[in-house]
Structure 1
Amino acid sequence: MLIERGANINTADYNCITPLHCTASLENPEACKWLIENGADINAVDNYGQTPLYKSIEYSHTEVIKVLIERGANINTADYNCITPLHCAASLENREACKCLIENGADINAADNYGRTPLYEFIAYSDIEITKLVIEKGANINKSDNNGSTPLHLAVGMKNKEIYKLLIENGADINAADNYGRTPLYKPIDYSDTEVIKSLIKRGAYINIADHYGITPLHYAASLKSGEAYKVLIENGAEINAVDRYGRTPLYETIAYSNIEITKLMIEKGANINKADNNSSTLLHSAVNVEDKEVYKLLIEKGANINAADNCGICKLLIAKGADINKATNNDITLLYEAVRVKDTEICWYYCTTDSRIVHSVCIGYVKTLDWRHCKSDNRCQSL
């Protein structure tokens, strides 16, 4: 009656929602037909760029979806976030709507603002049936998103073994790298899933590939203390002495995180315990820095060079093992100078009761005696 009296069938509210948008959200296909037959704009968009088709998908009204498609709804219209009706149906786990859209020609490779196709949504919600369907319909399984991650990265990260195996069987690039240079192999290391790690290696994953920082899967496993992951990697040929951009091997990571078990294993497998990084710091320097006595004792027992000097200045000398206690750094800083600076009275006492130089040069070239006020609380120091 209102329309007969001149009501505008396409009048929209302040959100640009039309009568057809409202009707599409209701399970009333006949009302939708009537509005369309009387001139309703089937592709009118609201403030989000969504047509009435989105509403029918949102409320899972399959019959309304069919009515709209049959009467000319644009099946591939994207909203302002580049989300298409198929993206929408996939994110809502609306399987019937997905099938209906795909069968009617929905673009299965359309990408949203994040560069993700509907396939990403199916994987995210572990829908193996629709994943198979879109692959059969020609979905690009190697299409990467804006972060360079592929559907395989996502499937492995979601711990979805059935889907990642399906992707690989259908040609997914197992060594595709994201924007950080990381392949899907890095993902199962995060949660120490040795079964997935073995599966990826068996299917051709490069075990010694490095990311943009030179970090290999073994570096990564060591830094995360990833349970048995590092063992699987080593057993399958991971390069134990590979260096990252700082010149550090995976053994540096195990020492930094005080992981004695992995440290022992890597040494047994041939890790170079005297490998210095780009600053000439050795593994022994690292062990001393983190105050891990168990690790630095192990390193010394295995032959670590206790007199190795780094480029940063302070030479990490282990006097108990026979290191030269008078050895100075490139800046003429001795062990005694450093011991007083950090108020280490034990080293001061040991140093001063040996045949050592009490007076030494500091880096600016002046000769000074040490400031004993730093250790005045120790009676042994005062007695000197």
Structure 2
Amino acid sequence: MGNIPRKGSRDQVVDSAKSLEDGPSAALHWKLYEAIMREDCTTIEPTESIIPIHLAAKYHKAQSLLCLLRHGADPEVRDTTGLTTLNLMLLHWPVTSTTWAKPGNRMHRILTDIQNSAIACLRILCAHGAQVNAQGEISNKSSPLHLAIAYGCYPVLSILAQNGADVNAINEASMTPLHMAANMLNKEMMEVLIAYGANVNCAVPSTGNTPLKLAVCTASSKAGRLLGAGVSCIHLLLTHGAKVNAQDYKGQTAIHEACFGGREAIINLLLEFEANVNILTRNGESPIYMYLQRSFNLRDTALLARLLYHTYPLRMTNNQGILPAGIMLPEFRLLRDTLIKQSRKPLSLQDICKRNIRNIYGEKYKWHLKQFLPVTIWNSVYCCYDLVYTS
């Protein structure tokens, strides 16, 4: 349940203090530790040790933290692992939830107080010049925003951004905070980052992955409510300008990933935002090729027909002439033979025109197009499948 004070939290402080008992300053340290934990500002005095300010931040003792800073404590001093006071506080952020606690009861008040204390400490650090873009030396060069995403510190994001945190900072893996939030399907965090100017089309140099590609990849492995949450995150990115047909270093797009995952809700959403189902990867693989890779997908014949409805030309092999693995199973022999035959049979000029209209205008504008086309023509474009198969 996060950093809710437990029996033994005082013991942790005792152990920390005992680690300093090898010198004459042990009594002073112990006195200082106790004063910080009690938030007894009359007893807190300046010290050369870096431990007090870290302790105050770690245990979210706002008054002690403020007192130390007023006495000249340096918020940027690093511990033996290279972490600043702000880094340490984020690593020990109280991951608590009040959704299950009845509003107004004792547990709800405790959880609320814990969060409020942590937020107060963060505001104090920012007000006293804490570097909101400082990277930890051994924490994958993560900025405070990266740490906040990794440890689920949702209330932190807006405070850091308001105090100058770079929402497009990159860590050691060249990922921005939005990449991380999208990969975790955390819509609340994504909304905050986008509101403060996060680049929705930033690509990881080594892979070419955008936040959209990562969100589609993660969501495609989910089901039920988690799938619904993933679709919501994908929609958020698309409505804020994510390029639906951006290709990664392999030439794959979001629709390639979605087709491999076989989640109809994701595929439909991408098609609504004009995903191109005819883009090939560097290895010559189309989205329909990715769909046919998995036998699980082939059992959803309605979705397969919908993808075929947009595909032209139908390309059944990759650059090496290899057919998709899923369709090679004996149970799909009839479907395989039919699709191979269709791929070798050119469509009529009329059918090619229909398909081009569907791909150019997409699902988003088809009802608008109905106002301008004769009913018979519109019906022939949108109300029939011109590439059929027998299963």
| Range of TM-score over shorter length | 0.5 to 0.7
Question: Paired residue for 2:276?
Answer: 272
Matches within 5 A, 1:163-312: 163-211=156-204, 212-225=206-219, 226-291=230-295, 292-293=297-298, 294=300, 295-312=303-320
1:37-91: per-residue Cα shift (whole Å, max 9, x none)?
A: xxx722x6xxxxxx95267426856599976846xx4233xxxxxxx33223322
Q: Which has the larger share of helix?
A: 2
Q: Distance in 1 between matches of 2:164 and 2:17?
A: 44
Q: Distance in 1 between matches of 2:282 and 2:216?
A: 20
CA RMSD of aligned residues (A): 3.6
Q: Distance in 1 between matches of 2:166 and 2:319?
A: 42
Give unpaired runs (5+ residues) of structure 1: 1-14, 23-39, 45-50, 77-83, 319-337, 355-384
Give unpaired runs (5+ residues) of structure 2: 1-15, 95-114, 220-229, 342-391
Once the two structures are TM-superposed, the CA of residue 256 in structure 1 deviates from its matched residue by 2.1
1:108-150: per-residue Cα shift (whole Å, max 9, x none)?
A: 1122354321112334245121212121211111001231221
Question: Paired residue for 2:122?
Answer: 131
Question: Paired residue for 1:102?
Answer: 69
SS at match of 1:265: helix
Q: Distance in 2 between matches of 1:349 and 1:183?
A: 42
Question: Paired residue for 2:103?
Answer: none
- Are the counterparts in 1 of residues 185 and 233 from structure 2 also a CA contact under 8 Å? yes
Q: Distance in 2 between matches of 1:196 and 1:285?
A: 34
- Are the counterparts in 2 of residues 149 and 177 from structure 1 also a CA contact under 8 Å? yes
1:247-294: per-residue Cα shift (whole Å, max 9, x none)?
A: 110112212221111112212322111111121111111111112133
Once the two structures are TM-superposed, the CA of residue 243 in structure 1 deviates from its matched residue by 1.0
Does residue 147 of the first structure (1) align with residue 140 of the second (2)?
A: yes
- TM-score scaled by structure 2? 0.62
- TM-score scaled by structure 1? 0.63
Question: Paired residue for 1:92?
Answer: 59
1:200-234: per-residue Cα shift (whole Å, max 9, x none)?
A: 22321101001232110100110111130001111
The change in CA–CA distance for 1:261 and 1:54 in structure 2 (over 3 A counts) is farther
Paired residue type of 2:64: A
- Counting matched residue pairs gives 283
Once the two structures are TM-superposed, the CA of residue 344 in structure 1 deviates from its matched residue by 5.9
The change in CA–CA distance for 1:302 and 1:172 in structure 2 (over 3 A counts) is same
Q: Distance in 1 between matches of 2:337 and 2:207?
A: 43
Structure number with greater Rg is: 1
The change in CA–CA distance for 1:219 and 1:53 in structure 2 (over 3 A counts) is same
Q: Distance in 1 between matches of 2:336 and 2:255?
A: 34
